[in-house]
Amino acid sequence: MPAAMPRHQALRQLAADPTARAALAAQAGPAPDDVSAWLADLQALVGVPFGYLVPDSRMLPPESIRFFAVDPNWTAALADGTLSIAAKTAPAAAAVETLRPAALTAARQAAANRRRTPAAPRPAAATAGPAEPDAAAEPAEPAEPDAQPAESAPAYSGFLLRSAAVADWPGMQVNGYADPQAATPALPIVRLERLAPTILLALFAGLIQRVDLTEPGQHLYFGVIPLPGGPSVELRSVESANAGAPLGGDPVTVSCRSDPNRTVLDVTATVAAIQHQLAANGQTVSSLSPSALALQLLQAPPSQTFTTAVAAAPAQADSSQATP
């Protein structure tokens, strides 16, 4: 090394030297928790203004769903901007350069597990008392094994959904798969968040080829089938072994109150009719409970499957990109 090497060149050499990098990283230690959490959030694009994600409203018209893959170069540049605030001096810039690769990989892996931590602790009031289901007795969610090697950070993909359904059916169930047949387990969800009342953003760790959107179970509505003989329900099993399984057989006509102007369900008569028919189907039910009636009146959750070509062979989509 020549004695008169300018300092900035020496620093650059230092940042490129593997031994020096290891020494610097060892000296600095792992990123503080708040820094790594922040970097992970940014890799999941948390807080990035919507205009940066969708620069033109025509890209996401009302009542549409758009699939995408996340550009790792974009999120890397985002991380560079973040780290740049610490690069106040030349040695600090060299330090940033040496710490960046590991920090970026760690952030991407942490982002993939963002939703693994419990979203919100249950309030104490909800777990007290004998009549309440005992939340503390529930088995804790098994800890995710840190099986992922440190080298590979998953590619992210996802969709933007803009629909009145986002506002009207909050908490819709979202499952993404890496193959069109959904033969593999669902991809882990990195982020599932309403960005606006009618806009839902979903990010998956992996490239999606299929997405299933299902009406959330808490919203499944009560309804009847309009048959010529009158509104009816098809019976489901109420035996605990196979609760909810269709029983087949004749639908039961629901009873309404005798009111010429209003169609009001006669709950008592309907309960009796359903109970009678369940017994005729061999179901042992002494008295139909409210939850068993709910099971009969439920309509099956509508689910929609979308297949996407977003995970096609990595296209060189940056055609107009030239070397700076």
Partner 1 sequence: MSSPPDAAQAQSGQVTFYDNVLPPLPAGDYQVIVQNSVTADQENASYAAVQRFSVTGPHLALGPGDVVAMTPPAGSQGSYDSWLPHVVLAQRSLPWQIPIGPGTIAPGTPWLALLLLTSQEIDVAGTPPAAGTTGVQTVPLSGLLTPPSGTLGPTATTALQDLQAEQPGVTCTVVDVTFDAFRAVAPQTAELPFLAHVRQVDASDQEALQVPAPGWYSFVAGNRFPVGAPDNMYIAHLVSLEGFAGYLPDQPAPTGYGLVRLVSLASWSFTSGPDAGDFGYLMQQLGTGPLTVPVTPAGTDPASQLVASAVQDGYTMLGYATRLGEQTVAWYRGPLQPAPVTANPQPPYQAAAAALIYDPSTGMFDASYAAAWEIGRLLTLANGPVAVSLSQWVASAASAARLLLARTAPGAPGPSAPSLAPDAPQRAARQLIARQVVPALLGRNGARPTLGPPGDPTGLRGRQLPGVLDTGTLRQLLQAGGDPGPLIHDQAVAAARGETPPEGGPAAHPDGA
Q: Which is nearer to partner 1, 146 or 259 (CB)?
A: 259
Dihedral of alpha carbons 117, 122, 128, 134, sign: negative
Give residues 108-167 in contact with partner 1 (rule: CB under 8 A): 115, 119-120, 122-123, 125-126, 128-135, 137-139, 141, 155, 157-158, 160-161, 163-165, 167
* Separation between Cα atoms, residue 293 and residue 243, nearest integer Å: 12
Asked if 198 is part of the footprint of partner 1 (rule: CB under 8 A), the reply reads no
- Tell me how far the alpha carbon of residue 40 is from its chain's centroid: 16
Residue span binding partner 1 (CB under 8 A) among the ranges 143-151, 245-253, 276-284, 313-321:
313-321
Asked if 215 is part of the footprint of partner 1 (rule: CB under 8 A), the reply reads yes
Residue 73 carries which DSSP code? Answer: H
Q: Tell me the site size for partner 1, rule CB under 8 A.
A: 174
Nearest approach in angstroms of CB 312 to partner 1 is: 6
201 — phi, psi (to 5°)? -110, 130
Q: Which is nearer to partner 1, 181 or 261 (CB)?
A: 261
* Separation between Cα atoms, residue 22 and residue 38, nearest integer Å: 24
Q: Which of 79, 110, 112, 235 binds partner 1 (CB under 8 A)?
A: 79
Other Cβ atoms less than 10 A from the Cβ of 296: the count is 24
Nearest approach in angstroms of CB 242 to partner 1 is: 12
Scan for tokens 């009816």, then name that residue. Answer: 232
Nearest approach in angstroms of CB 278 to partner 1 is: 13
- Residue 122 one-letter amino acid: R
Q: Which of 181, 221, 228, 241 binds partner 1 (CB under 8 A)?
A: 221
Mention every residue, 6+ apart, whose C-beta is less than 8 A from residue 296: 233, 235, 236, 252, 274
- 216: its two tokens: 């959330």
Q: Which of 178, 190, 200, 252 binds partner 1 (CB under 8 A)?
A: 200
Scan for tokens 């419990």, then name that residue. Answer: 118
* Separation between Cα atoms, residue 63 and residue 151, nearest integer Å: 39
Nearest approach in angstroms of CB 271 to partner 1 is: 6
Give residues 222-281 in contact with partner 1 (rule: CB under 8 A): 222-226, 231, 238, 240, 243, 257, 259, 261-265, 267-268, 271
Q: Which of 183, 199, 180, 187 is nearest to 310 (CA)?
A: 180
Q: Which is nearer to partner 1, 91 or 281 (CB)?
A: 91
Q: Which is nearer to partner 1, 226 or 248 (CB)?
A: 226
Nearest approach in angstroms of CB 150 to partner 1 is: 16
Q: Which of 107, 170, 179, 197 binds partner 1 (CB under 8 A)?
A: 170
* Separation between Cα atoms, residue 107 and residue 36, nearest integer Å: 6
Nearest approach in angstroms of CB 45 to partner 1 is: 6
256 — phi, psi (to 5°)? -120, 155
Q: Which of 76, 102, 182, 273 binds partner 1 (CB under 8 A)?
A: 76
